[in-house]
Structure 1
């Protein structure tokens, strides 16, 4: 029988029965389960850190801080040495494209407009030539080449980076320029009338001392960097993804297009930006190939002129005066900033690719 919510069983025991009026909605309420405390990755939390670990950590942190300090010190030095010369400059430093007149240090005239244009133009031209070739070599070495070919061919490509810049300069002017002279003349005569890139510039097309020749040589110089970085990234493509694509009936090219290229695109862009940074700072080869000129730059592949680095190298005899040297150091400061911008754009591009892939 039931009495006041208590029911007596046949054995005389009492069992409490909940009152339906006080049962609420009938939903079971459970106490919240506490979240587990995440484990710390700091080894010092669970015991004494060994002396070797402390030394290694200090050296690693010190190395990172040292790099930042050195870069900041270089930037400060360039700015400090450039300010006195900029104060005596009578022209707009960023917009003046005329001749550098530093003979009278009390009234100097110099600017970086032509230097910036020539530097960017020849570097981008070289990058456009080197990128597709480097991509093709990396794809071949990682997906098509037999094992007996991969080693020797990779070694030969890497060997290009060991050739000194002066050798590239001499080879470009005295060997490559005569070989490509018919092609340069044909491009100038056929396309120069309606496409400004191949129009007659401020240098002799037949002479070879133009951006056209310099860009090809520069492309050969940066090819090993782009190829090496791209090849190393392509090799890291997960084997499971490749085998899955093959299991679905994909051809070798479809595997490259659907797995290898998407996975390694960020590395390919990083390698290209490293190559661009190398091209922006190239000095001796471009100093030998590019002809100096007093005429304005016209955005033609058959123009000549100076880049930042070659202009500074050509005026080394004027560095005995702080104001004359300061004018070229100011140009070096712009090149220093330009490389930072290029690296920042490369990192932003790689980060964007990683986010889109995830």
Structure 2
């Protein structure tokens, strides 16, 4: 009897020891993985802090020389070393705002069509075309905009718009002057084309996550297609849609090469959207290699810091909005 029990006891003991060794190995692996991921997160923070620190350090000579006037003047004269960031800030904000005003409704409309209205045979081709638009390099958009799109606007669209609003107050100021082809409006339209795929793709993906039961229930109580989209699909996915819009806005704020080709690169604020202008990223791309002197270089770094802060504020506002929406949904 004793001889029969002893092998079972030894076998059970060895199994317990084996499980204990495996648990120790797993615990060590988990600890290593945690340290590895924590180090990666800290590395990102260190890189971000290094970028901010270098921008602040490099921009200090410009801020010390011009003070708050750097933000409120549009003079940009490397010869006399007089610099102001108002024109690039204005161009960045205006082009991004116009681009988002165009791209957001179009992108959401495309997403609604693909998920709710499009025939199944067309969903894949249209979706692939949208993804291809997102993959085109920005310099290709710039070349296309300069040699094809801008001449088209100059010859056909801008003269028509100028004549259409010639006697309309306010609008005649926004669309005044000779049709250059390039300018604020052209850059805004190029940005809208570039941002559209991001808004449409993300909106389409989040619209696909709506449970069919919700939509079927809405149809069951007599809702129309529009009512289902407006009252069920969009409210259910608004957090994801806002995230996609903010992602597109970040792309619009920081876009460089495409805007540089078509905006005209003029450090001047003009009431007309048809006039040439500039953005922060375009100014840096155009002039950084030719910057002579510490003050000139510092001024370019300073507008880069301003762009960083604008982007940071926009993303912070977006994050706050998303948190509030999540809290409302939780309630």
> What TM-score, normalized by structure 2, do the two folds share?
0.85
Aligned length: 306
Gaps of 5+ in 1: 1-46
* 2:78 paired residue number: 102
**In structure 2, which of residues 299, 304, 322 is the aligned counterpart of residue 332 of structure 1?**
304
Please give the per-residue CA displacement for 1:137-179, whole angstroms capped at 9, x wherever unaligned. Answer: 1111111223332222111101111112121112112212233
Shift of 1:64: 2.1
Decide whether aligned partners of structure 1 residues 140 and 200 sit closer, same or farther in structure 2, where only a CA change above 3 A counts: closer
- Work out which structure has the larger RCO, using CA pairs closer than 8 Å and 6 or more positions apart in sequence: 2
Residue 169, structure 1, aligned to residue 145, structure 2: no
Residue 74, structure 1, aligned to residue 51, structure 2: yes
Looking at structure 2, the residues matched to 357 and 198 of structure 1 have their Cα atoms a distance apart, in angstroms, of 45
Decide whether aligned partners of structure 1 residues 61 and 163 sit closer, same or farther in structure 2, where only a CA change above 3 A counts: same
Decide whether aligned partners of structure 1 residues 128 and 91 sit closer, same or farther in structure 2, where only a CA change above 3 A counts: closer
Please give the per-residue CA displacement for 1:286-338, whole angstroms capped at 9, x wherever unaligned. Answer: 111111336x4133211211100000111023346433211100010000000
Residue 315, structure 1, aligned to residue 287, structure 2: yes
**In structure 1, which of residues 187, 191, 213 is the aligned counterpart of residue 165 of structure 2?**
191
Larger Cα Rg: Structure 1 or Structure 2?
1
* 1:127 paired residue number: 100
**Do the aligned residues in 1 keep the contact of 2:143 with 2:258 (CA within 8 Å)?**
yes
Shift of 1:263: 0.8
* 1:151 paired residue number: 124
Looking at structure 2, the residues matched to 50 and 136 of structure 1 have their Cα atoms a distance apart, in angstroms, of 50
Gaps of 5+ in 2: 1-22
Please give the per-residue CA displacement for 1:164-215, whole angstroms capped at 9, x wherever unaligned. Answer: 212111211221223333222222222244343552678742x201112111
Aligned-pair Cα RMSD in Å: 2.2
> What TM-score, normalized by structure 1, do the two folds share?
0.79
**In structure 2, which of residues 234, 244, 251 is the aligned counterpart of residue 271 of structure 1?**
244
Q: SS state of the match for residue 276, structure 2?
A: coil
**Do the aligned residues in 1 keep the contact of 2:161 with 2:175 (CA within 8 Å)?**
no
Looking at structure 2, the residues matched to 195 and 86 of structure 1 have their Cα atoms a distance apart, in angstroms, of 39
Looking at structure 1, the residues matched to 53 and 67 of structure 2 have their Cα atoms a distance apart, in angstroms, of 23
